Every structure is written in structure tokens, then in C-alpha cells.
Amino acid sequence: MALTAVDTGRPAAAVADRNEHSARDAAWAFGAWIAVSVPMILYLGRDQWFFLDDWDFLGARDGRNLHDLLRPHNEHWSTLPILLYRALWRLAGIRHYWPYQLCLVMVHLAAAVLLRVVMRRAGVDPWIATAAAGLFAVLGAGRQDIVYAFAINLTGSLTFGLAYLVAVDRDGSFDRRDAAGMAAGLASLMCSTVGVTMVVAVAVAIAIRRGWRVATIHAGSLAAVYMAWWVAFGRGAFNNPKAGWTDIAHFVGRVAVYVFAGLGQVPPVGFLLAVVLVTGAVLSIREAGSRRQLAAPVGLASGAVFFVLTTGYGRAAVGVGWDPTSVSRYVHLVAAMTLPAIAVAASAIAGRWRTVLPVMVVLFVIGIPGNVRALRATGPARLTLGNPDLILTMAHLPLASEVRRADQPMPFLAPGITVGWLLDGASSGRIPKPRAAGTNVRLTAELLLSLEQTRTVSATSCTAIRARQPITVHRGDQIEFRWPGVDVSRSVNGRKVGRARYTPAFGRRLTVMAGPLELIVQPRSHWPAHLCR
């Protein structure tokens, strides 16, 4: 009998040893892929520069001012990203973009590592976990959250939220691991409103695994802190138009399509991943013993649903979601919260029919090449790359010393930048001289410095400006326009040079701060612009 037991035990031991080696190999392969991803993402994202929201943290915040640290950016509590930007501004200025971008890349890849931890704890096959988390590491479909440095607010919330989940995804009562997890949850809230979603996701996971009492302690404590911030600083920022149920449903449907299409890249693969999710979920639910083990993936999937519903409520009414570029940042977040559930489903199918394991791995791997290519901005995404020559030229023009320091030359593309900030940055060396800006860039920079956009509408007598007719303006003259705005160009020998686009969202009046200038004003509708002297 003893001999039989030994004989029958050897194959089981061999299988266990083989599985251990396979798991170790998968972990090493994942680590190597993460290491390779750092330089690859930085290289593919090398065209990105400071753009739009970056300038609020760079030019309109003071890290020593408590109000600047706590007042919201749009509706986001962004204290931690602001502190990071202020530190990097002190150390590197805007001489290079890569220090800012590297911080984002590392935070994003930390999220990929944590996702794999969640998957493995949920019993996902090591190679499926490696393929799924490896796909997320280079998810070009969500490039905004990977290469656009300002997106560290959203990606930071995701990563701190995942760290929170990993810390508390266990059995037992409240202890210091829960306290550490709640600190990560607070950090998630202090990056962006995505932190609210992550707290909801973690609360659902805790409720499934450890009961509603522990979940209430976690969610209630963090909700109290967030509400205190909201009452003191944030409530005035939540004033966007709100969408109806139809628009929300359309938004949710489009984001779901973009997520699976982005994961798969090859058209049928996204659909197959959705089929795997549904089929594998049924198999997983039937295994009653695995429900506690699946608490984290279920919590994250619940967070994905919560996120798209609440984001649709706040964003669909303003036109967000009609194309993949406009929701790239949401694709990244929803994919992160959905991938563990897809990986669990794929592993459940492979566990039932072992021969399909390679197929499950391939379903994730096949989307990697297309996502790597998508990390490089193309098409409409190139409009979000920033314009270093223009900003750097503006800071070093002699004209900048002749206009008011409080003027904002680019409220539409660089909110928060003032002429004074540009001059101070140039004198300190934090804003370098441009490499070799052309004449067109210089004239555009002079145009932007020469016109101040304000919301006040003048009551003086004005004359209509004929479209495309060159006009001469002097200091103190005003150009008033209506929706949807005007294009203003310099006129050099009757030829349009440079262009600035102005919309009423930042004011309906342009005041000439330096002149005389030869301009060509082109209204973007049948409503004429007016010159007021």
C-alpha cells in the first residue's frame, strides 16, 4: 500500500512542480515586459508636450498656498498631482517633458503590476494573467492616460485605488493593513474624482469577502473626508450640464464598444473577448467556493459600471464620447477595471477545457501590436500634443515686457499662463529659449501677446468688420465677436500669417494691448465681428 501511495504521488508532485515552474516563468516574462515597456512608451510618446490642463498646475497653482492645493481642477480634487507638478517645475521647469511623462508611465505600469496581482489572487492562470496585464501595460487605446503627463491625476487614482484593493482583499477583521489600504484610498481621492469610483469598487469587494460591516467602516470613513472637501472647496465645480437617460445609455454603449475594440484591435477579437467574459462568468459563478476569491474582480467590474454611468451623467451632455479620441482616458480606466473579470472568465474556460488555454492567451496577446502602434499620436490625437515653439517663443519675445503681466495670452489652450509667469520662467531658466522657431511662429506669438480676451462687452459705438478685409488696429482698440468665435491672423503684405482662434467661452472681446497691427479677422458664422475704437 505504501509503495502504491508513493507511486501515485509522484505524478501529482511532478504536476505541482511543473505548475510552479510555469508560474515562475510567467512572472519573469511579465517583469521583463514591464521593464521593456518603460523605454518603449517614452519613445512612442516622445512627441507629447505640455498641453491645456498641464498649464493650470504649472502656471496657476502655488504649492505653498493651501487654497491652491485644495481648490478643484474642473471637478477634481487634485492635491497630489499639483504637489508633483510644483516639485517638477522647481527641479526641471519646462526644459524637458520627459520627467513629467516618466512619472505617469511608472504610475501606469504600477497599475498593470497590481492588476496582475489581483488576477493571480483570483486564481487566474499565470500565463493568462501575464497576457492580460501585459496588454494593459501598453494599452494604446487609452494613450492619454499613459503618455499625457497631466493624466497622472486619473491614472494616480486608479493605481492608488488598486493598491487599496490589494491591501484589504483578505479575510479577517480590521487591522493595520486596512489602515494602510485606507491611506491609499485617500490618496486615490486626492488625485481625481476617479478615486470615488475606486472606493466604491473596494467597498463592494470588501462586502463580498468580509461583510458589509467592514465595508461600511472603509467607505464611510473615506466618504466623510471626501464630503468635507466637497463642502469646503469642491461643490461649486460640479456645474456641468447633466445628461438624460438616453444620452447616458448611448455613452455607456459607446465606451463599452471602444473598450473591447481597443483591447482586441483586430475587429473580431474584441467581440470574442466579450463572449469570453459572458461565458466564463457563468462558469465562475457556478463554483460557489470561488465567490469570496472573486471579490476583487467583481468589485472592480462593479466600479466600471459605476464609473461609466456617473461619467455619462456628467459628460455625455457636452458631447464627450462620440469618437474614440474623446474617451481615450475613459477607455484606459474602464479597461483596467474590466480586465480582471475577463481574465477570470478566460481562466475558467481554460480550466474546464485545458486545450484552449493557448487560445485564451492569444486573445489577449493579439491586441498588443496594435495597441503599441496606437501609443504614437495620429490623426485628431495630434492636436493634443502641445506646441513648444509657440510657448517658448512667447516667453522670450521683447514684446512680453511691454504688455501687462496679468494678461493671459492663451486662455483657450493654456489656461493659467500669464505674461508675468512667462517672463519669470524665462528669467529663472525654467522656460528655455526655443530651438529654431520660424517667422510664422514668432508672428503668431506676437499676435497672442497683443490681444487680451475678456468677458466684458464694450458699450461703445462699433463698426462691422468685413470678412477677410485687412484692418489696422491700435493699442486700446477692441474687437467684439459672437458665437462660435473668430479666427484672427496677422496681415503681412496682404498675406495671412499665423492664426489664433478665439471662442466666446473665454470672453467676447479682444482688447489690443500693443500696436499698430495689421490683422485679418474672420468670423466663424454669419454674425459679423465689430471694431470698436
Indicate the domain borders of the chain.
45-383, 387-532
Other C-beta atoms closer than 10 Å to the C-beta of 326 total 16
CA–CA separation, 469 and 33 (whole Å): 58
Instruction: Compute CA distances 43 → 213, 229, 372, whole Å.
Output: 48, 38, 11
Q: Please report the pLDDT score of residue 459 as a whole number.
A: 57
Kindly tell me the number of DSSP H helices and DSSP E strands found in the chain.
20, 9
Contact 199, 223 (CB under 8 A): yes
Residue 7's pLDDT is: 45
Which 3-state string (H, E, C) describes 294-344? CHHHHHHHHHHHHHHHHHHHHHHHHCCCCCHHHHHHHHHHHHHHHHHHHHH
Interatomic CA distance for residues 98 and 44, integer angstroms: 12
pLDDT of residue 35: 98
> What pLDDT is stored for residue 1 in this prediction?
38
CB under 8 Å to 254, separation ≥6 — which residues?
321, 322, 327
Q: Which residues contact 167 (CB under 8 A, 6 or more apart)?
A: 177, 178, 180, 181, 184
- pLDDT given for residue 411 in this prediction: 86
> What CA–CA distance (Å, rounded) separates 88 from 99?
7
Q: Which helix (H) or strand (E) holds 497?
A: strand 495-502
- Answer yes or no: are the C-beta atoms of 426 and 395 closer than 8 Å: yes
**Total number of residues shown for the chain:** 533
Residue 501: CB atoms within 10 A of its CB come to: 13
The predicted pLDDT at position 460 comes to 67
User: Taking the alpha carbons of 281, 272, 301, 350 in that order, is the dihedral positive or negative?
Assistant: positive
Per-residue pLDDT, 324: 66
SS (H, E, C) 164-207: HHHHHCCCCCCCHHHHHHHHHHHHHHCCCCHHHHHHHHHHHHHH
Side chain identity at 139, as an amino acid letter? L
Q: Which residues of the chain have pLDDT under 50?
A: 1-8
Give me the pLDDT at residue 246, please. Answer: 87
Do the Cβ atoms of 435 and 493 come closer than 8 Å? Answer: no
Distance of CA 133 to the CA centre of its chain: 18
CA 119 to CA 169: how far, in whole Å?
A: 12
Q: Residue 406 carries which side chain, given as an amino acid letter?
A: A
Q: Which residues contact 271 (CB under 8 A, 6 or more apart)?
A: 260, 264
As a whole number of angstroms, the distance between CA 410 and CA 60 comes to 13
Residue 127, pLDDT score: 97
Instruction: Look at residue 287 in the predicted model and tell me its pLDDT.
Output: 64
Query: What are residue 330's phi and psi, to 5 degrees?
Result: -80, -35
